[in-house]
Amino acid sequence: MKRIVAHELRKVMMSPLVLALLVLFLLYNAAMLLTGYGSMREDMAESNRLVSQYGHQIDEEMLTRLRNDYQDGLQWMNRLTKRTEGRTFENISSLYESGTHHVEGLYDESERERFSNLLAMETYLRFISNIDSTYEQLDAMNRAENEIRKYRLSGELAETVRGNYRELAVRIDQLITNGEHKHLFFIGHIFKTHSLLFKTVFRTVLFEVTILTVLLTGHLLSYEFERRTQSLMYSTKRGRSLMFDKTVAALLASLVVTTVLLFGTLAIYFTLFDYTGFWSVPISNALQAEYSWPFISFWEMTFGQYLLASVALVYALALCFFGIASVLSFLFRNSYAVFCGFSVLFGICLLLTGIMPHDSNWLLVAGFTPSLLMMNSDLWWMEGGAFKSYRYIEVITITAWAVLLLASYALVQRRFRKQDI
């Protein structure tokens, strides 16, 4: 079987379409990250500098040091501006608003660099000062009612959502007690790094992984039928079990493609954006909030753990899509039909929630699809509105689809064994 799988893998490697798309996708991802984020990278370096200087945990000691250093810096700045511009500023932001900080000849490079450091300190102090009041006002049940109103939910569904948010309220209390929110991170309102990484990058990679996985699985499992070699291949000793070998090869190839795309892109991302000091920062920290409602993970986890869990989910989704493509390949025996069939199924899964009644829990159940999971990659493992308020949605979606696909595969494989070729 090993030899056969190796031969089958060679067919994938020899496929110009698969190889060309893999290279194209990697180049696209690199271009996407290399262009347009230059100044952001420099500003993020300031965040890293702060973390290396003060640590990421926001406590009284850290705040005192930060405030003192900021005040010292402010005094230094005003002595300098008094001398150069004949005036002082209330804060560093005012200097930046005046625009004189970058006037040629007024300040040298090292002074500008210190301005930049000061600005980062000031910005962080401003955001940090709002954390306590923001979290005191976090009202999970109020959010639940807002979500219920927004989507006009009623009946058992509204009750389920309320139940989910009751659990979230407990989690918020736990989060505040743990102090998970009080950690330095890239400021979400400015950098939107969570969206950049987990929405833009992860979703792009997922789309690419999906396209490649479906294409290569359809290609491999339909290979003999498309080349009219099926009579020969399925009458050899291996017989119809060849389809199983092809499935194993497609699985391995899908994992390789996922690894190359995901880790290739993440390598580019983390080379460009330095997260050195942030790996152990809790993902539910207050600073990375991009909107008024912060990111609240259902479990206490660091950024590093969250990234790993998300990487695992990418693999799980890739396997789901591979599974769907495998089952479709048994039914259609044509790679184009497999791709079209997959696209239709993907679309149906996305649209399913649109036809469900707004007073039934079936609306929530209809959202337990790999398609929707893929589209919400920035909200994995965390609360994200009425339809993303159940903590086990990822685990249940993947488990349910894994069972469904394994059962479907067993059925189509069994049917294939008895089918005329």
Partner 1 sequence: MLTIHQVSKYYGNFCALRDIELEFENGVYGLLAPNGAGKTTLLRMLVTLLHPSSGEIRYDGVDIYEMDEQYRELLGYLPQDFGYYRNNTPRQYLMYLSALKGMERKAAKEKIDQLMELVGLQEASDKKMKKFSGGMIQRVGIAQAMLNDPKILILDEPTAGLDPKERVRFRNVLTDLARDRIVLLSTHIVSDVESIANEIIMIKDRQVLYKDRIENICRTIDGIVYETEIDFERAHDFRQRHFSLSEKQEGGKLKIRFLSTEGTLEGWRAVKPGLEDVFLHIYQDEKVGR
- Interface with partner 1 by CB under 8 A: which residues? 3-4, 7, 14, 224, 227-239, 241-242, 418, 420-421
Least Å from the CB of residue 322 to partner 1: 23
CB closer to partner 1 out of 83 and 237: 237
From the CB of 10, what's the least distance to partner 1, in Å?
Answer: 9
Angle in degrees, 0-180, between the axes of helices 393-418 and 242-272, rounded to the nearest 10: 150
Q: Are 50 and 281 in contact (CB under 8 A)?
A: no
Say if residues 382 and 313 touch (Cβ distance below 8 Å): no
> Quick check: 379 and 293 in contact, CB under 8 A?
no
CB of 421 vs partner 1, minimal distance in Å: 5
Report yes or no: 62 and 55 within 8 Å, Cβ to Cβ: yes
Residue 213 Cβ vs partner 1, minimum distance, rounded to whole Å: 23
- The secondary structure of residue 276, as a DSSP letter, is G
Closest to partner 1 by CB, 10 or 41: 10
Minimum distance of partner 1 from residue 1's CB (angstroms): 9
**Choice between 203 and 240, CB closer to partner 1:** 240
Backbone angles phi, psi at 302, to 5 degrees: -80, 170
Closer CB to partner 1, 90 or 420, in the complex: 420
Q: Are 278 and 268 in contact (CB under 8 A)?
A: no
Cβ atoms of 339 and 215 within 8 Å: the answer is yes
Report the nearest approach of partner 1 to the CB of residue 335 (Å). 15
CB of 415 to partner 1, least distance (A): 12
Q: Are 327 and 412 in contact (CB under 8 A)?
A: yes
Q: How many CB atoms are located within 10 Å of the residue 262 CB? A: 22
- Give whichever of 43 and 226 is closer to partner 1, judged by the CB atom: 226
- Cβ distance to partner 1 smaller for residue 104 or 420: 420
* CB nearer partner 1, residue 230 or residue 413: 230
Contacts with 179 (C-beta within 8 Å, 6 or more apart), sequence order = 57, 59
Nearer to partner 1, 7 or 166 (CB): 7
12 contacts 250 by C-beta, under 8 angstroms: yes
Shortest reach from residue 241's CB to partner 1, in Å = 8
**Min dist. Cβ of residue 249 to partner 1 (A):** 12
| Under 8 Å between Cβ of 309 and 206 | no
Tokens representing 320 are 């789901």
* Nearest Cα to Cα of residue 307 among 207, 168, 194, 394: 194
What is the spatial distance between Cα 208 and Cα 200, in angstroms, rounded to a whole number? 12
DSSP conformation class of 187: -
For partner 1, give the closer residue by CB, 4 or 80. 4
Q: Which is nearer to partner 1, 46 or 224 (CB)?
A: 224
What sign for the dihedral angle of Cα 307, 187, 118, 64?
A: negative
Range list of H helices, 100-241: 109-136, 140-150, 155-178, 188-191, 193-194, 202-221, 223-226, 230-233
Q: How far is the CB of 7 from partner 1 (least distance, A)?
A: 5
CB of 238: closest distance to partner 1 in angstroms? 5
CB burial of 308-319 (b: ≥16 within 10 Å; e: otherwise) equals: ebbbebbbbbbb
Among residues 3 and 152, whose Cβ is nearest to partner 1?
Answer: 3
End-to-end Cα separation, the chain, in angstroms: 22
Distance CA 392, CA 252 (A): 28
